[in-house]
Structure 1
Amino acid sequence: MPFVVLPAHIADIEPVYDVYFEAFKDEPILKFLYPRGVDRKAHTEAMAQWWGHDRISYTIKCLNADTGKIVGMATWDVFHRPGEGNGWERPAGIPWLEGKEKERAEGVLNGMWDMREKLFGARHKYIYLSVIAVHPEHQRQGVGRRLMQWGIDVAEQFGVPIYTEASPSGLGLYQSVGFEHLSHLRLVHRQEVTGLPDAEVPLVARMPAAARGLRFREWEARGCPETYGVDGSSGAQDAGRAGCAAM
Protein backbone atom coordinates (compact mmCIF):
# COMPACT_ATOMS: atom_id res chain seq x y z
CA MET A 1 0.00 0.00 0.00
CA PRO A 2 1.74 3.22 -1.14
CA PHE A 3 1.80 6.14 1.28
CA VAL A 4 2.85 9.66 0.33
CA VAL A 5 3.59 12.64 2.59
CA LEU A 6 2.51 16.07 1.32
CA PRO A 7 1.88 19.53 2.81
CA ALA A 8 -1.64 19.91 4.17
CA HIS A 9 -3.78 22.72 2.79
CA ILE A 10 -6.60 24.65 4.45
CA ALA A 11 -9.07 22.49 2.52
CA ASP A 12 -7.56 19.47 4.32
CA ILE A 13 -8.23 20.71 7.84
CA GLU A 14 -11.35 18.63 8.46
CA PRO A 15 -9.99 15.27 7.19
CA VAL A 16 -6.59 15.93 8.80
CA TYR A 17 -8.23 16.44 12.16
CA ASP A 18 -10.55 13.50 11.61
CA VAL A 19 -7.36 11.47 11.90
CA TYR A 20 -6.18 13.40 14.95
CA PHE A 21 -9.41 13.04 16.90
CA GLU A 22 -9.77 9.37 16.01
CA ALA A 23 -6.18 8.59 16.99
CA PHE A 24 -6.44 10.40 20.34
CA LYS A 25 -10.05 9.70 21.22
CA ASP A 26 -9.13 7.60 24.28
CA GLU A 27 -6.19 9.73 25.40
CA PRO A 28 -6.44 12.00 28.47
CA ILE A 29 -5.17 15.04 26.56
CA LEU A 30 -8.41 15.31 24.57
CA LYS A 31 -10.44 15.19 27.77
CA PHE A 32 -8.32 18.02 29.15
CA LEU A 33 -8.55 20.18 26.02
CA TYR A 34 -12.16 19.39 25.08
CA PRO A 35 -13.92 18.24 28.28
CA ARG A 36 -17.36 18.92 26.77
CA GLY A 37 -16.58 17.45 23.38
CA VAL A 38 -15.45 19.16 20.19
CA ASP A 39 -17.52 21.51 18.07
CA ARG A 40 -15.90 20.43 14.82
CA LYS A 41 -17.34 23.30 12.79
CA ALA A 42 -15.94 25.87 15.19
CA HIS A 43 -12.67 23.96 15.41
CA THR A 44 -12.26 23.89 11.62
CA GLU A 45 -12.99 27.61 11.35
CA ALA A 46 -10.50 28.43 14.12
CA MET A 47 -7.79 26.27 12.55
CA ALA A 48 -8.35 27.91 9.14
CA GLN A 49 -7.78 31.31 10.72
CA TRP A 50 -4.67 30.05 12.51
CA TRP A 51 -3.17 28.40 9.42
CA GLY A 52 -3.80 31.61 7.49
CA HIS A 53 -1.37 33.69 9.54
CA ASP A 54 0.93 31.28 11.40
CA ARG A 55 4.56 31.35 10.20
CA ILE A 56 6.01 28.73 12.55
CA SER A 57 3.91 25.58 12.12
CA TYR A 58 3.93 23.23 9.15
CA THR A 59 1.19 20.60 9.05
CA ILE A 60 1.72 17.63 6.77
CA LYS A 61 -0.56 14.80 5.74
CA CYS A 62 0.09 11.20 4.78
CA LEU A 63 -2.09 9.93 1.95
CA ASN A 64 -2.97 6.46 0.84
CA ALA A 65 -1.94 7.02 -2.79
CA ASP A 66 -4.44 4.43 -4.05
CA THR A 67 -7.49 5.94 -2.38
CA GLY A 68 -6.46 9.55 -1.73
CA LYS A 69 -7.55 9.16 1.89
CA ILE A 70 -5.61 11.00 4.60
CA VAL A 71 -4.37 8.37 7.06
CA GLY A 72 -1.86 10.36 9.12
CA MET A 73 -0.88 13.90 10.06
CA ALA A 74 1.82 15.78 11.89
CA THR A 75 2.54 19.38 12.81
CA TRP A 76 6.12 20.56 13.02
CA ASP A 77 7.03 23.92 14.58
CA VAL A 78 10.21 25.29 13.02
CA PHE A 79 11.90 27.75 15.37
CA HIS A 80 14.55 29.00 13.01
CA ARG A 81 14.90 32.66 12.12
CA PRO A 82 17.89 34.79 11.21
CA GLY A 83 19.11 36.94 14.08
CA GLU A 84 18.65 36.62 17.82
CA GLY A 85 15.08 35.35 18.18
CA ASN A 86 13.78 31.97 17.04
CA GLY A 87 10.10 32.98 16.85
CA TRP A 88 8.98 31.28 20.07
CA GLU A 89 6.20 32.98 21.98
CA ARG A 90 4.77 31.25 25.01
CA PRO A 91 1.07 30.51 24.39
CA ALA A 92 -1.28 32.77 26.31
CA GLY A 93 -3.42 29.85 27.49
CA ILE A 94 -6.53 27.96 26.42
CA PRO A 95 -9.04 30.62 25.35
CA TRP A 96 -12.03 28.31 24.81
CA LEU A 97 -12.10 26.99 28.38
CA GLU A 98 -13.12 28.61 31.65
CA GLY A 99 -12.89 27.99 35.37
CA LYS A 100 -11.64 24.63 36.65
CA GLU A 101 -11.53 23.15 33.15
CA LYS A 102 -9.23 25.93 31.99
CA GLU A 103 -7.09 25.62 35.12
CA ARG A 104 -6.66 21.87 34.64
CA ALA A 105 -5.81 22.05 30.92
CA GLU A 106 -3.32 24.86 31.41
CA GLY A 107 -1.83 23.03 34.39
CA VAL A 108 -1.02 20.15 32.05
CA LEU A 109 0.36 22.34 29.26
CA ASN A 110 2.31 24.72 31.50
CA GLY A 111 4.76 22.00 32.46
CA MET A 112 5.48 21.32 28.78
CA TRP A 113 5.85 25.04 28.00
CA ASP A 114 8.10 25.53 31.05
CA MET A 115 10.43 22.76 29.87
CA ARG A 116 10.74 24.26 26.39
CA GLU A 117 11.49 27.68 27.85
CA LYS A 118 14.14 26.13 30.07
CA LEU A 119 15.81 24.22 27.24
CA PHE A 120 15.51 26.63 24.31
CA GLY A 121 13.78 29.85 25.29
CA ALA A 122 13.22 32.31 22.47
CA ARG A 123 16.81 32.26 21.26
CA HIS A 124 18.04 28.78 20.35
CA LYS A 125 17.04 27.29 17.02
CA TYR A 126 15.27 23.93 17.02
CA ILE A 127 12.29 22.04 15.63
CA TYR A 128 9.42 20.90 17.81
CA LEU A 129 7.08 18.07 16.90
CA SER A 130 3.78 19.49 18.08
CA VAL A 131 1.63 16.48 17.19
CA ILE A 132 1.77 13.28 15.21
CA ALA A 133 -1.25 11.07 14.64
CA VAL A 134 -2.02 7.99 12.58
CA HIS A 135 -5.53 6.67 12.03
CA PRO A 136 -5.96 3.46 14.07
CA GLU A 137 -6.77 1.48 10.91
CA HIS A 138 -3.36 2.37 9.47
CA GLN A 139 -1.08 2.12 12.47
CA ARG A 140 2.02 -0.11 12.29
CA GLN A 141 2.17 0.30 8.50
CA GLY A 142 5.02 2.80 8.36
CA VAL A 143 2.86 5.94 8.29
CA GLY A 144 4.28 7.37 11.50
CA ARG A 145 7.83 6.77 10.31
CA ARG A 146 7.13 8.65 7.06
CA LEU A 147 5.66 11.59 8.94
CA MET A 148 8.66 11.56 11.27
CA GLN A 149 11.12 11.50 8.39
CA TRP A 150 9.72 14.74 6.98
CA GLY A 151 10.70 16.63 10.13
CA ILE A 152 14.05 14.86 10.37
CA ASP A 153 14.89 15.91 6.81
CA VAL A 154 14.05 19.55 7.57
CA ALA A 155 16.09 19.48 10.80
CA GLU A 156 19.07 18.06 8.92
CA GLN A 157 18.86 20.81 6.31
CA PHE A 158 18.88 23.47 9.04
CA GLY A 159 21.39 21.56 11.16
CA VAL A 160 19.26 21.87 14.32
CA PRO A 161 17.91 19.42 16.91
CA ILE A 162 14.35 18.14 17.18
CA TYR A 163 12.62 18.04 20.55
CA THR A 164 9.26 16.70 21.64
CA GLU A 165 7.27 14.89 24.30
CA ALA A 166 6.71 11.21 23.58
CA SER A 167 4.32 8.67 25.04
CA PRO A 168 5.50 5.48 26.74
CA SER A 169 4.01 3.44 23.89
CA GLY A 170 5.60 5.63 21.20
CA LEU A 171 9.08 5.87 22.71
CA GLY A 172 10.36 2.93 20.67
CA LEU A 173 9.43 4.61 17.37
CA TYR A 174 11.35 7.74 18.31
CA GLN A 175 14.41 5.77 19.35
CA SER A 176 14.31 3.73 16.13
CA VAL A 177 14.79 6.91 14.05
CA GLY A 178 17.61 8.36 16.11
CA PHE A 179 15.96 10.13 19.03
CA GLU A 180 17.46 9.83 22.49
CA HIS A 181 15.43 9.60 25.68
CA LEU A 182 16.32 12.61 27.84
CA SER A 183 16.29 10.63 31.06
CA HIS A 184 18.07 13.43 32.95
CA LEU A 185 14.96 15.61 32.55
CA ARG A 186 11.62 14.88 34.21
CA LEU A 187 8.18 16.08 33.23
CA VAL A 188 5.41 14.65 35.39
CA HIS A 189 1.70 15.33 35.09
CA ARG A 190 0.71 15.42 38.75
CA GLN A 191 -2.48 13.93 40.14
CA GLU A 192 -3.38 17.16 41.89
CA VAL A 193 -3.57 18.82 38.46
CA THR A 194 -5.01 16.09 36.27
CA GLY A 195 -7.14 14.10 38.71
CA LEU A 196 -5.37 10.99 37.40
CA PRO A 197 -2.41 9.05 38.83
CA ASP A 198 0.96 10.74 38.37
CA ALA A 199 2.24 10.12 34.84
CA GLU A 200 5.79 10.81 33.65
CA VAL A 201 6.08 12.07 30.09
CA PRO A 202 9.16 10.80 28.20
CA LEU A 203 11.12 13.67 26.66
CA VAL A 204 13.09 12.94 23.51
CA ALA A 205 15.46 14.79 21.20
CA ARG A 206 17.32 14.07 18.00
CA MET A 207 20.60 15.78 17.23
CA PRO A 208 21.46 16.51 13.58
CA ALA A 209 24.37 14.94 11.72
CA ALA A 210 26.17 18.30 12.05
CA ALA A 211 26.58 17.58 15.78
CA ARG A 212 28.88 14.67 14.86
CA GLY A 213 27.70 12.36 17.62
CA LEU A 214 27.31 14.97 20.34
CA ARG A 215 24.45 13.93 22.60
CA PHE A 216 21.73 16.38 23.58
CA ARG A 217 22.73 16.39 27.25
CA GLU A 218 26.32 17.26 26.36
CA TRP A 219 25.20 20.00 23.97
CA GLU A 220 22.84 21.38 26.62
CA ALA A 221 25.66 21.45 29.18
CA ARG A 222 27.78 23.51 26.78
CA GLY A 223 25.03 26.11 26.50
CA CYS A 224 23.59 24.87 23.17
CA PRO A 225 26.16 26.50 20.84
CA GLU A 226 25.02 26.69 17.21
CA THR A 227 28.35 25.20 16.12
CA TYR A 228 27.84 22.37 18.67
CA GLY A 229 31.37 22.82 20.01
CA VAL A 230 32.22 19.26 19.01
CA ASP A 231 35.91 20.11 18.83
CA GLY A 232 35.83 21.65 22.30
CA SER A 233 36.57 25.09 20.85
CA SER A 234 33.21 26.67 21.66
CA GLY A 235 30.57 26.37 24.33
CA ALA A 236 32.95 25.04 26.97
CA GLN A 237 32.56 28.15 29.10
CA ASP A 238 28.86 27.35 29.50
CA ALA A 239 29.39 23.80 30.73
CA GLY A 240 27.21 22.86 33.65
CA ARG A 241 24.35 25.23 32.92
CA ALA A 242 20.89 23.75 33.27
CA GLY A 243 19.21 24.33 29.94
CA CYS A 244 20.16 26.53 27.02
CA ALA A 245 17.78 29.43 27.51
CA ALA A 246 19.98 30.98 30.18
CA MET A 247 22.43 32.12 27.52
Structure 2
Amino acid sequence: MPFAVLPALIPDIQAVYDVYFEAFAADPDGHGLLDILFPSGFTSAEFRTAHADATLAWWHRADNDTPQYTFKCVDTASGDVVGMAIAYLYTTPRKDAEPFKAEWLEGGQRDKAERVLAPLCETRERLWKGKAYIYIEVCAVHPKHQGRGAGTALVQALTSLGDSCNLPVYLESSRTAVGLYTKSGFHRIPPAEARVVHPAAVLDSSVDVEVPLMARLPGTSTTSYTAAGSTSTADDETSSVPWLLSENTAALAGVVAMTLAAIAYRGLKVLQL
Protein backbone atom coordinates (compact mmCIF):
# COMPACT_ATOMS: atom_id res chain seq x y z
CA MET A 1 0.00 0.00 0.00
CA PRO A 2 1.30 3.50 -0.75
CA PHE A 3 1.90 5.91 2.09
CA ALA A 4 1.92 9.69 2.28
CA VAL A 5 3.97 11.59 4.85
CA LEU A 6 2.30 14.91 5.66
CA PRO A 7 2.38 17.59 8.35
CA ALA A 8 0.12 16.66 11.27
CA LEU A 9 -2.83 18.98 11.80
CA ILE A 10 -4.79 19.78 14.95
CA PRO A 11 -7.51 17.17 14.19
CA ASP A 12 -4.72 14.55 13.89
CA ILE A 13 -3.38 14.95 17.43
CA GLN A 14 -5.35 12.07 18.97
CA ALA A 15 -4.61 9.66 16.11
CA VAL A 16 -0.94 10.62 15.93
CA TYR A 17 -0.35 10.07 19.63
CA ASP A 18 -2.41 6.88 19.70
CA VAL A 19 0.18 5.57 17.22
CA TYR A 20 2.96 6.84 19.47
CA PHE A 21 1.67 5.15 22.61
CA GLU A 22 0.77 1.87 20.90
CA ALA A 23 4.15 1.66 19.14
CA PHE A 24 6.16 2.39 22.26
CA ALA A 25 4.06 0.02 24.39
CA ALA A 26 4.76 -2.83 21.94
CA ASP A 27 8.55 -2.31 22.07
CA PRO A 28 10.52 -3.57 25.12
CA ASP A 29 12.64 -0.42 25.32
CA GLY A 30 9.71 1.84 24.55
CA HIS A 31 7.37 0.29 27.10
CA GLY A 32 9.95 0.78 29.83
CA LEU A 33 10.31 4.42 28.84
CA LEU A 34 6.56 5.00 28.94
CA ASP A 35 6.39 3.45 32.42
CA ILE A 36 8.99 5.96 33.59
CA LEU A 37 7.50 9.01 31.87
CA PHE A 38 3.88 8.19 32.70
CA PRO A 39 4.00 6.12 35.91
CA SER A 40 0.28 6.54 36.56
CA GLY A 41 -0.56 4.78 33.29
CA PHE A 42 -1.01 5.74 29.65
CA THR A 43 -3.73 3.44 28.30
CA SER A 44 -6.97 4.90 29.60
CA ALA A 45 -9.25 7.02 27.44
CA GLU A 46 -9.12 9.73 30.09
CA PHE A 47 -5.34 9.90 29.91
CA ARG A 48 -5.28 9.97 26.11
CA THR A 49 -7.81 12.79 26.03
CA ALA A 50 -5.92 14.79 28.65
CA HIS A 51 -2.66 14.23 26.76
CA ALA A 52 -4.21 15.42 23.51
CA ASP A 53 -5.57 18.52 25.23
CA ALA A 54 -2.16 19.27 26.74
CA THR A 55 -0.50 18.82 23.34
CA LEU A 56 -2.92 21.25 21.73
CA ALA A 57 -2.29 23.79 24.49
CA TRP A 58 1.46 23.41 23.97
CA TRP A 59 1.08 24.05 20.24
CA HIS A 60 -0.72 27.27 21.00
CA ARG A 61 1.70 28.60 23.59
CA ALA A 62 2.65 32.15 22.65
CA ASP A 63 6.26 31.71 23.79
CA ASN A 64 6.75 28.41 22.00
CA ASP A 65 9.35 29.13 19.33
CA THR A 66 10.84 25.62 19.33
CA PRO A 67 11.33 24.46 15.71
CA GLN A 68 9.50 21.20 16.36
CA TYR A 69 7.28 19.69 13.67
CA THR A 70 5.08 16.63 13.82
CA PHE A 71 4.43 14.45 10.78
CA LYS A 72 1.85 11.77 10.09
CA CYS A 73 2.16 8.77 7.79
CA VAL A 74 -1.17 8.07 6.12
CA ASP A 75 -2.24 4.87 4.39
CA THR A 76 -3.61 6.39 1.21
CA ALA A 77 -5.95 3.44 0.63
CA SER A 78 -7.77 3.76 3.96
CA GLY A 79 -6.91 7.29 5.05
CA ASP A 80 -5.76 5.97 8.43
CA VAL A 81 -2.82 7.47 10.32
CA VAL A 82 -0.45 4.50 10.67
CA GLY A 83 2.78 6.25 11.65
CA MET A 84 4.15 9.47 13.07
CA ALA A 85 7.39 11.33 13.58
CA ILE A 86 8.58 14.40 15.46
CA ALA A 87 11.57 16.33 14.17
CA TYR A 88 13.40 19.51 15.15
CA LEU A 89 14.64 21.55 12.21
CA TYR A 90 17.64 23.58 13.35
CA THR A 91 18.35 25.58 10.22
CA THR A 92 20.88 27.70 12.11
CA PRO A 93 23.00 26.79 15.14
CA ARG A 94 20.70 26.74 18.14
CA LYS A 95 21.05 28.61 21.38
CA ASP A 96 22.15 26.76 24.51
CA ALA A 97 19.34 24.45 25.55
CA GLU A 98 17.79 24.46 28.99
CA PRO A 99 18.47 21.35 31.11
CA PHE A 100 15.78 18.72 30.69
CA LYS A 101 13.09 18.83 33.38
CA ALA A 102 10.21 16.38 33.80
CA GLU A 103 7.95 19.10 35.12
CA TRP A 104 4.77 16.98 34.96
CA LEU A 105 6.19 14.61 37.63
CA GLU A 106 7.19 15.09 41.25
CA GLY A 107 9.61 13.65 43.77
CA GLY A 108 11.22 10.31 42.99
CA GLN A 109 9.24 9.88 39.78
CA ARG A 110 10.57 13.14 38.41
CA ASP A 111 14.13 12.29 39.46
CA LYS A 112 13.90 8.93 37.71
CA ALA A 113 12.60 10.40 34.47
CA GLU A 114 15.30 13.05 34.43
CA ARG A 115 18.02 10.45 35.09
CA VAL A 116 16.87 8.64 31.94
CA LEU A 117 16.32 11.55 29.55
CA ALA A 118 18.82 14.15 30.77
CA PRO A 119 21.89 12.16 29.54
CA LEU A 120 20.34 11.97 26.06
CA CYS A 121 19.76 15.73 25.99
CA GLU A 122 23.21 16.53 27.37
CA THR A 123 24.93 14.24 24.85
CA ARG A 124 22.96 15.71 21.96
CA GLU A 125 23.84 19.25 23.00
CA ARG A 126 27.52 18.36 23.31
CA LEU A 127 27.63 16.75 19.86
CA TRP A 128 25.70 19.40 17.98
CA LYS A 129 26.38 22.66 19.79
CA GLY A 130 27.10 25.38 17.25
CA LYS A 131 25.87 23.28 14.32
CA ALA A 132 22.80 23.29 12.11
CA TYR A 133 21.13 19.88 11.86
CA ILE A 134 17.88 17.93 11.97
CA TYR A 135 16.98 15.95 15.08
CA ILE A 136 14.43 13.15 14.83
CA GLU A 137 13.00 12.88 18.32
CA VAL A 138 10.45 10.17 17.51
CA CYS A 139 9.64 7.87 14.63
CA ALA A 140 6.88 5.33 15.27
CA VAL A 141 4.53 3.01 13.40
CA HIS A 142 1.42 1.40 14.86
CA PRO A 143 2.13 -2.29 15.61
CA LYS A 144 -0.72 -3.39 13.32
CA HIS A 145 0.97 -1.69 10.39
CA GLN A 146 4.64 -2.45 11.02
CA GLY A 147 6.50 -4.28 8.29
CA ARG A 148 4.54 -2.63 5.46
CA GLY A 149 6.94 0.19 4.67
CA ALA A 150 5.46 3.02 6.71
CA GLY A 151 8.60 3.36 8.81
CA THR A 152 10.75 3.55 5.70
CA ALA A 153 8.44 6.19 4.25
CA LEU A 154 8.76 8.34 7.37
CA VAL A 155 12.54 8.04 7.52
CA GLN A 156 12.92 8.75 3.80
CA ALA A 157 10.77 11.86 4.08
CA LEU A 158 12.96 13.28 6.83
CA THR A 159 16.28 12.27 5.29
CA SER A 160 15.15 13.80 1.99
CA LEU A 161 14.61 17.03 3.87
CA GLY A 162 18.16 16.76 5.20
CA ASP A 163 19.49 16.09 1.71
CA SER A 164 17.70 19.05 0.15
CA CYS A 165 19.04 21.35 2.86
CA ASN A 166 22.53 19.86 3.10
CA LEU A 167 22.02 19.12 6.80
CA PRO A 168 22.97 16.03 8.81
CA VAL A 169 20.23 14.12 10.63
CA TYR A 170 20.62 12.76 14.17
CA LEU A 171 18.50 10.44 16.31
CA GLU A 172 18.55 8.16 19.33
CA SER A 173 17.32 4.77 18.13
CA SER A 174 15.62 1.94 19.93
CA ARG A 175 17.60 -1.28 19.68
CA THR A 176 14.96 -2.83 17.42
CA ALA A 177 15.06 0.00 14.86
CA VAL A 178 18.82 0.10 14.19
CA GLY A 179 18.46 -2.01 11.04
CA LEU A 180 15.88 0.31 9.51
CA TYR A 181 18.01 3.39 10.08
CA THR A 182 21.16 1.67 8.82
CA LYS A 183 19.40 0.84 5.55
CA SER A 184 18.52 4.52 5.25
CA GLY A 185 22.14 5.67 5.47
CA PHE A 186 22.48 6.19 9.22
CA HIS A 187 25.42 4.83 11.14
CA ARG A 188 26.16 4.57 14.82
CA ILE A 189 28.36 7.13 16.46
CA PRO A 190 31.39 5.40 17.98
CA PRO A 191 31.34 5.09 21.79
CA ALA A 192 34.65 6.96 21.88
CA GLU A 193 32.84 10.05 20.58
CA ALA A 194 29.54 9.73 22.42
CA ARG A 195 27.82 7.08 24.50
CA VAL A 196 24.66 6.88 26.61
CA VAL A 197 24.05 3.87 28.85
CA HIS A 198 21.02 3.66 31.11
CA PRO A 199 21.87 1.83 34.36
CA ALA A 200 19.74 -1.22 35.11
CA ALA A 201 18.82 0.22 38.50
CA VAL A 202 17.25 3.27 36.88
CA LEU A 203 15.29 1.21 34.36
CA ASP A 204 14.22 -1.42 36.91
CA SER A 205 15.73 -4.03 34.59
CA SER A 206 18.30 -6.79 34.95
CA VAL A 207 20.87 -5.25 32.58
CA ASP A 208 22.20 -1.87 31.56
CA VAL A 209 20.84 -0.59 28.24
CA GLU A 210 23.00 1.31 25.75
CA VAL A 211 21.12 3.69 23.46
CA PRO A 212 22.16 3.51 19.79
CA LEU A 213 23.14 7.07 18.82
CA MET A 214 22.89 7.39 15.04
CA ALA A 215 23.55 10.06 12.43
CA ARG A 216 23.38 10.47 8.69
CA LEU A 217 25.27 12.82 6.39
CA PRO A 218 23.26 14.56 3.67
CA GLY A 219 23.32 12.70 0.39
CA THR A 220 24.21 9.27 1.78
CA SER A 221 22.35 6.01 1.40
CA THR A 222 23.91 2.88 2.87
CA THR A 223 27.46 4.22 2.68
CA SER A 224 29.27 4.98 5.92
CA TYR A 225 32.04 7.47 6.51
CA THR A 226 35.40 6.84 8.10
CA ALA A 227 37.34 9.26 10.27
CA ALA A 228 39.48 10.21 7.29
CA GLY A 229 36.41 11.22 5.33
CA SER A 230 36.58 8.37 2.80
CA THR A 231 33.63 6.10 2.14
CA SER A 232 33.27 2.46 3.10
CA THR A 233 30.63 -0.15 2.34
CA ALA A 234 31.59 -2.37 5.25
CA ASP A 235 28.81 -3.99 7.24
CA ASP A 236 30.00 -2.38 10.48
CA GLU A 237 27.26 -0.02 11.63
CA THR A 238 29.66 2.08 13.67
CA SER A 239 31.93 4.65 12.05
CA SER A 240 33.32 8.07 12.79
CA VAL A 241 31.29 11.09 11.81
CA PRO A 242 33.53 13.95 10.67
CA TRP A 243 30.88 16.68 10.87
CA LEU A 244 30.88 16.28 14.66
CA LEU A 245 34.51 17.31 14.74
CA SER A 246 34.27 20.54 12.79
CA GLU A 247 31.88 23.45 12.34
CA ASN A 248 28.91 22.58 10.16
CA THR A 249 27.62 25.30 7.83
CA ALA A 250 24.74 24.59 5.48
CA ALA A 251 24.87 25.81 1.90
CA LEU A 252 22.84 28.94 1.25
CA ALA A 253 20.46 27.05 -1.01
CA GLY A 254 19.93 24.48 1.73
CA VAL A 255 19.14 27.13 4.30
CA VAL A 256 16.67 28.78 1.95
CA ALA A 257 14.98 25.47 1.21
CA MET A 258 14.74 24.58 4.89
CA THR A 259 13.41 28.01 5.75
CA LEU A 260 10.69 27.68 3.13
CA ALA A 261 9.81 24.25 4.49
CA ALA A 262 9.67 25.63 8.02
CA ILE A 263 7.38 28.44 6.90
CA ALA A 264 5.12 25.96 5.14
CA TYR A 265 4.80 23.85 8.26
CA ARG A 266 4.69 26.72 10.77
CA GLY A 267 1.61 26.45 12.93
CA LEU A 268 1.42 22.67 12.49
CA LYS A 269 3.60 21.97 15.50
CA VAL A 270 2.37 19.42 17.46
CA LEU A 271 7.95 11.09 22.74
CA GLN A 272 10.67 4.54 17.98
CA LEU A 273 9.85 1.69 15.78
| Aligned counterpart, 1:186 | 195
**Higher normalized contact order (CA 8 Å, seq sep 6+, divided by chain length):** 2
User: What amino acid maps onto 2:195 in structure 1?
Assistant: R
CA distance in 2, matches of 1:109, 1:11: 29
Q: Is the 8 A contact 2:165 2:250 kept in 1?
A: no
| Aligned counterpart, 1:168 | 175
CA distance in 1, matches of 2:6, 2:94: 25
Structure 1 pair 20–227 and aligned structure 2 pair: CA distance change class (3 A): closer
Any idea what SS the aligned residue of 1:47 has? helix
CA distance in 2, matches of 1:227, 1:133: 28
User: What is the CA-CA distance between 1:155 and the residue it aligns to?
Assistant: 1.0
1:202 pairs with one of 212, 220, 224: 212
Residue by residue, what CA displacement relative to the aligned partner does 1:149-196 show, whole Å, maximum 9, x if unpaired? 111111112211111111221101001010011123321001232222
Q: Is the 8 A contact 1:79 1:86 kept in 2?
A: yes
CA distance in 2, matches of 1:216, 1:209: 17
1:219 pairs with one of 243, 263, 266: 243
Q: What is the TM-score normalised by the length of structure 2?
A: 0.76
Q: Percent identity?
A: 39
User: What is the CA-CA distance between 1:217 and the residue it aligns to?
Assistant: 2.4
Q: Is the 8 A contact 1:79 1:87 kept in 2?
A: no
Matched pairs, number: 222
CA distance in 2, matches of 1:219, 1:54: 26
Q: Is the 8 A contact 1:126 1:161 kept in 2?
A: yes
Alignment of 1:26-65 (within 5 A): 26=26, 27-38=31-42, 39-52=47-60, 53-65=64-76
How large is the RMSD of aligned CA atoms in angstroms? Answer: 2.1
Alignment of 1:106-145 (within 5 A): 106-121=114-129, 123-145=130-152
- Which runs of 4 or more aligned residues in structure 1 lie more than 3 Å from their structure 2 counterparts after TM superposition? 212-216
CA distance in 2, matches of 1:88, 1:143: 34
CA distance in 1, matches of 2:33, 2:211: 12
User: What amino acid maps onto 2:34 in structure 1?
Assistant: L
CA distance in 1, matches of 2:40, 2:15: 21
Residue by residue, what CA displacement relative to the aligned partner does 1:27-50 show, whole Å, maximum 9, x if unpaired? 211011101113222211111122
Q: What is the TM-score normalised by the length of structure 1?
A: 0.83
User: What is the CA-CA distance between 1:227 and the residue it aligns to?
Assistant: 6.6
Structure 1 pair 87–41 and aligned structure 2 pair: CA distance change class (3 A): farther
Any idea what SS the aligned residue of 2:175 has? coil
1:78 pairs with one of 89, 107, 118: 89
Residue by residue, what CA displacement relative to the aligned partner does 1:45-92 show, whole Å, maximum 9, x if unpaired? 1111222345411111111112111000001111113xxx42563354
